[in-house]
Amino acid sequence: MKKYLFFYIITSLFLFANTSSPSKSKGLKADLVTVVKSQRKMYLSCKGKILKKYDIALGGNPVGHKRVRGDQKTPEGKYKLDYFKPNSSFYKALHISYPNRKDHQNARKLGKSPGGSIMIHGQPNNREIKKSFFQRYNDWTAGCIALENDEMDEVLHLVNVGTPIHIKP
């Protein structure tokens, strides 16, 4: 009887130890998206562990926080991914909740609009203008965060609408 109990305990420990690993769990979703602009990296994480890392392209003038429409900057701060946009000029998109109240106030002080429509998206839908190498390794968006299309599909699988995004300098 003791042999069977010992075997049962060891087998159970082995089985449960293998299922607790986040990388092997099916259906695991990111609970935070972090963008580090200076590194041109985006990280998806769950409970403090990085699930995925991506190379990204940013706005054409990426240094500093987005202040006004047309400044070609990617915003910095804490936002949410507030909706999925399947039909855009780019391959799929997740909208970032920029501008927030503070962004509106800062732009108003300058007598300007803060802009908007900042998203994480794939490559342009018009394949004639798609130059993947250029768009992957140069900042070319109007302030958005761009990925390759297959990476965008992966992000959409791992991130839910409502997930926080922290965009750091």
28 has pLDDT over 60? yes
Residue 83 located in a structural domain: yes
Average pLDDT over residues 94-113: 94
Residue 15 located in a structural domain: no
Indicate which CATH number applies to the domain containing 59: 2.40.440.10
Give me the pLDDT at residue 126, please.
77
Give me the pLDDT at residue 69, please.
93
What pLDDT band is residue 144 in, cutting at 50, 70 and 90?
Answer: very high
Q: Are 69 and 87 in contact (CB under 8 A)?
A: no
Number of domains in the chain: 1
127, 129, 119, 54: which is closest to 87 by C-alpha? 119
Which residue do the tokens 């449960």 mark? Answer: 16
Residue 12 located in a structural domain: no
Average pLDDT over residues 51-57: 97
Average pLDDT over residues 61-84: 93
Residue 22 located in a structural domain: no
> Of the ranges 20-29, 72-81, 118-127, which one carries the lowest mean pLDDT score?
20-29
Strand order in the sheet with 77-87: 49-55, 41-46, 32-36, 164-168, 77-87, 91-96, 119-121, 145-146
Residue 21 located in a structural domain: no
Residue 6 located in a structural domain: no
Query: Which residue range(s) make up the domain with 130?
Result: 27-168
Average pLDDT over residues 83-97: 93
Give me the pLDDT at residue 14, please.
40
pTM over 0.85, yes/no: no
Residue 41 located in a structural domain: yes
What pLDDT band is residue 27 in, cutting at 50, 70 and 90?
Answer: confident
Residue 7 located in a structural domain: no
